[in-house]
Structure 1
Amino acid sequence: MSAQPSRRSWRRPLVVAAVAAALAVPSAAVATDTSSTVTDWSDRTAVQVLDDTYYQDAVGKTGPELKAALHTIIRKQSTLSYSQVWDALRSTDEDPNNPANVILLYTGRSQSKTANGGDADDWNREHVWAKSHGDFGTVTGPGTDIHHLRPTDVSVNSTRGNKDFDNGGQQLSEAPGNYTDSDSFEPRDAVKGDVARMILYMAVRYDGDDGFADLEPNDQVNNGSAPAIGRLSVLKQWSLQDPPDAFEEHRNQVIYDQYQHNRNPFIDHPEWVDAIW
């Protein structure tokens, strides 16, 4: 199995293709008014088009108003069963250099899509927002939301467990660049921002109004079974340190186009992290 570079080789989609994806919202997704016509896309970026359509009720807001607006937008989604997550991750996390493989989150290893299961060197489904933090398990909803579910090495997933995120600890021999101690886990540099944005997506998407716990980040570790994950100040630092790359942007688009039909707004607008927190 080949090692994967820290910066991945997905090319940013052509503007025309991204614009088409932004407007072609499936019936299960947000019902967005796209009646206005723009005849020249040459000076329009994909995010600007999303701001005019998908994010139109959030643009210009800050703080609690922005968080509430984004919650209303992204809660309108299609859902998956836990068994359907396997096939979804084979698509969302496909290795751009080898379509037979997926990229594992913490190790960066490129591994066969079919090498999944429970053995030590298999890959399995990691809940980046640990499912015990809010006790949502693997039920349809937060337990199957692929915006925060990623393929990971089984034993590395076990080492992370349900620990909060923070800097420091001992480096993992099986996954160099990742560190852990008794109450926290630090992912490798290339995915620190990915982890932060997944956590903050969950905090906006699951706000306590749909039968699940109100998930919130805080600035501590040892959160246990509380519906909270820390450390917020570190997650904000990681989001700045590791801005969205083409792999993460592509993943967001695949989830939107093919599966849940909602987006992680902090990938499209990383500046919204500071605007809310």
Structure 2
Amino acid sequence: MLALDLEEGSHIMGVTASDGNQSVTQSFTVTVTTEVETANYYDTAYGLEGGQLKAELHEIIDGHTELSYSQVWDALKVTDEDPNNPNNVVLLYSGESRSKNLNGGNVGDWNREHTWAKSHGGFGTARGAGTDIHHLRPTDVQVNGLRGNLDFDYGGAAVAGCDGCLRTSSSWEPPNEVKGDVARMLFYMAVRYEAEDPVDLELNEQLNNGSAPYHGKLSVLLEWHEQDPVSEWEQQRNEKIEDIQGNRNPFIDHPEWAESIWSAS
């Protein structure tokens, strides 16, 4: 038996059989994944529910490598790379593919959207919550400005430059294609940042949370989580983020845990 030590990813293999007169070669692809490692990652969380599950997941994903805000630029060029064009990133909300080189603050550029608005808890762009790429996404500068620090809910007026986005004075509704993505990013933040951290983030049923360390609207986020299931894009992004900052989003790996933690809220 031949044993091979292969890196994660896809590998094209070939096997040749010969009887001395003629030979036949068969090619095939071997894919190496980290499913077992991912299962082990959550060993201590299995069987738990509610607050106990939330607390244990916090312990598992706590202590990640914290980036500087300037390092986030390069990280997003990796995590949000367009699979159909490696020179571009895919923008949150608008879904547009835009050149990696157009990062900045001018019209036509993309910048670093804090899905959990950085004013909700006042963590700004400090290492930790302010630079955690699990909730930072490339977004069109103008769309980012219109979203501002609004909480998430249904309804509102159409947003220029963002098909499917709706906005009121107190809420933001993203397109259907990324509703679940938004929900799972906020679930992650509410578990990752707890009382012993510089900021303790929690989800609630309110709009206009302002500078308080809360984000709404929880019931709506749970609906979006169900309506827009985890995509292959999110799974791949989760893997890339683990490579960069060393932790995972549990709600991408185990979507059922959101209901377990927040169903009674």
Tell whether the structures are fold-level matches, with TM greater than 0.5: yes
Higher relative contact order (CA 8 A, sep 6+): 1
The answer to whether structure 1 residue 171 and structure 2 residue 186 are counterparts is: no
Which residue among 17, 24, 37 is the counterpart of 2:32? 17
Identify, as 1 or 2, the structure richer in strand.
2
- Structure 1 match to 2:233: 247
Q: State the identity %.
A: 60
1:148 is aligned, of 124, 131, 135, to: 135
Q: Distance in 2 between matches of 1:151 and 1:173?
A: 17
CA distance in structure 1 between the partners assigned to 2:32 and 2:42 by the alignment: 18
Structure 1 residue aligned with 2:95: 108
Residue in structure 2 matched with residue 199 of structure 1 by the alignment: 186
Equivalent residue, structure 1, for 2:26: none
Moved over 3 A (4+): 13-16
Q: Which residue of 2 aligns with 1:27?
A: none
How far residue 76 of structure 1 moved from its aligned partner, in angstroms, is: 2.5
Q: What is the CA-CA distance between 1:119 and the residue it aligns to?
A: 0.7
**CA distance in 2 between partners of 1:49 and 1:261 (Å):** 13
Instruction: Kindly state the Cα deviation for residue 253 of structure 1 after the two structures are TM-superposed.
Output: 0.3
Letter in 1 for 2:33: A
Aligned pairs for 1:1-277 within 5 A? 16-19=31-34, 46=35, 49-51=37-39, 53-210=40-197, 212-257=198-243, 259-277=244-262
Mapped to 1, the partners of 2:162 and 2:32 lie a distance apart of 36
Q: Aligned equivalents of 2:37 and 2:82: distance in 1?
A: 28
Residues of 1 paired with 2:152 and 2:32: CA distance?
36
Higher gyration radius (CA): 2
Give the TM-score normalised by structure 1: 0.83
* Amino acid in the other structure paired with 1:206: Y
Contact (CA 8 Å) 1:50, 1:56: kept in 2 or not?
no
Give distance in 2, aligned partners of 1:250 and 1:134: 29
Aligned partner of 1:4 in structure 2 is none
Deviation string 1:97-142 (CA, Å, 9 cap, x unpaired) is: 0000000001000000000111121000000000000000101000
Tell me if the contact between 1:94 and 1:103 (Cα under 8 Å) persists in the aligned partners. Answer: yes
When normalised by structure 2's length, the TM-score is 0.86
SS of the aligned residue for 2:32 comes to helix
How many Å separate the matches in 2 of 1:17 and 1:223? Answer: 45
Match of 2:13 in 1: none
Query: Residue 211 of structure 2 aligns to which amino acid in structure 1?
Result: S
RMSD: 1.2
CA distance in 1, matches of 2:151, 2:219: 12
Count residues with an aligned counterpart: 235
- SS of equivalent residue, structure 1 residue 185: strand
SS in 2 for 1:65: helix
| Matched AA of 1:219 | E
